[in-house]
Amino acid sequence: MSQYSSNQSLEMNAQDTKFNYRVILAVLAAVIIGLLIAFYYSYAQSQNRITYLEDERKLLNKDLIFMKAEVDKLKGYNQLVEIDKDEAMYQVQELLDSVGRLNFKVDKLEESKRSLRSLQVRFDSLKYKNNFLLYNNDLINQKYESTLAQIKQLKQETSVLKEVREEVKLENEELAKELKIKSYLSIPSSSVEGNGFRLRSGRPIQTNKASTIEKLRGCVTILGNPNERGETKIIYFQFLDPDMKVIEDSNQSVSVAGNTYSKRVELVYLGKDIGVCDFITVPEGSLAEGIYTLNVFEDERLLASTEFQFK
């Protein structure tokens, strides 16, 4: 019976060993299958990654080929800018070498902002100047229109003045004819004389002291003319002070055709030499020291003139 128990025990140990072998084989099979699955999954991912990287490489090569083609195309545009193209190629190469890095300089941005502000200020200044020029242009246009209107008016007035000028010309021609016909008195300048007088007991006494003069006398000699006899002539004495102002006779002047005289002298001219003298009265002390003038007129024509001095 002990032998039977021993055999039974050996048989159970053999069964346990077989079972353990089977378990070990199952575990090894599971591990191998797991490794195969993991290897296959890793292989599949690697293949996908390789495919993706191949596609990316192809795209990158296409981009680089396209960029190179563009650069080659730019090379043929203009040989005069070869240096600029070389610099561009260098910059493109730098960009290719620095893909993934972005170097942004704040200082450059600030400098650009300052340049922008400077340009903005210049733009505002130019805009202000342009508006000012537009305003001036409007003013000039208004003045131009006003000037055109004035020119038109002046042309009309010129036309009127031309007509008036023609009329005046005809009148002057007629007057010239009359003047040619009319003969004037002949008075030598050497015969003209101006003097001052003061009164003593009603008697005039000649003097050259300005402060005592009460009368001014003018004397002339009219030369004879045998072609004129028995005609009434009118001459005018004009006394001028040192300031060339007309001296009036007793504060009364004589005005003829817009001209002012001191004395009107009417005489009968017989065609022979004749001396003519006449006085004007002035307030005592009204005359100042200086050089005085005596002009002799017939109508508006100056016949003779002289100067005399009072102290």
Per-residue pLDDT band at 282 (split at 50, 70, 90)? very high
Rounded mean pLDDT, 253-282: 91
Q: Sorting pLDDT into bands at 50, 70 and 90, what band is 100?
A: low
CA angle in degrees (0–180, nearest 5) for 24-29-32: 125
Alpha-carbon distance 25 to 223, whole Å?
Answer: 178
Highest-confidence segment of 26-40, 54-68, 259-273: 259-273
Three-state secondary structure of 98-162: CCCCCCCCHHHHHHHHHHHHHHHHHHHHHHHHHHHHHHHHHHHHHHHHHHHHHHHHHHHHHHHHH
pLDDT of residue 6 exceeding 90, the answer is no
**134 or 230, greater pLDDT:** 134
Mean pLDDT of 290-297: 95
- Between CA 200 and CA 114 the distance in angstroms is 101
pLDDT confidence of residue 278: 94
Percent of the chain with pLDDT over 90: 30
Q: Tell whether the model's pLDDT for residue 85 goes beyond 70.
A: no
Confidence (pLDDT) at 76 = 65
pLDDT tier for residue 178 given thresholds of 50, 70 and 90: low
Q: How confident is the model at residue 177 (pLDDT cuts 50, 70, 90)?
A: low
d(CA 293, CA 141): 56
Q: Whole-angstrom Cα distance, residue 273 to residue 270?
A: 9
C-alpha 279/C-alpha 249 separation (Å) is 8
β-strand partners of 217: 195, 279
Average pLDDT score over the chain: 83
Q: Which pLDDT does position 119 carry in this prediction?
A: 86
Residue 116 has pLDDT above 90, yes or no: no
**In the predicted structure, residue 106 carries a pLDDT above the cut 80:** no
Strands (E), the chain: 193-200, 203-207, 215-222, 231-240, 254-256, 259-261, 263-269, 274-281, 290-298, 301-310
Cα separations in angstroms, 109 against 102, 104, 116, 117: 14, 9, 10, 12
Q: What is the pLDDT of residue 104?
A: 56
Predicted confidence band at 118 (pLDDT cuts at 50, 70, 90)?
confident
pTM listed for this prediction: 0.43
283 vs 241: CA distance, rounded Å? 14
Q: Residues 49-61: pLDDT tens digits?
A: 888 888 888 887 7
| Higher pLDDT pick, 95 / 153 | 153
Contact 207, 248 (CB under 8 A): no
Element (H, E) at 299: none
Q: Give the closest residue to 85 by CA, choosing from 64, 65, 70, 96.
A: 70
* Radius of gyration of the CA atoms of the chain, in A: 67
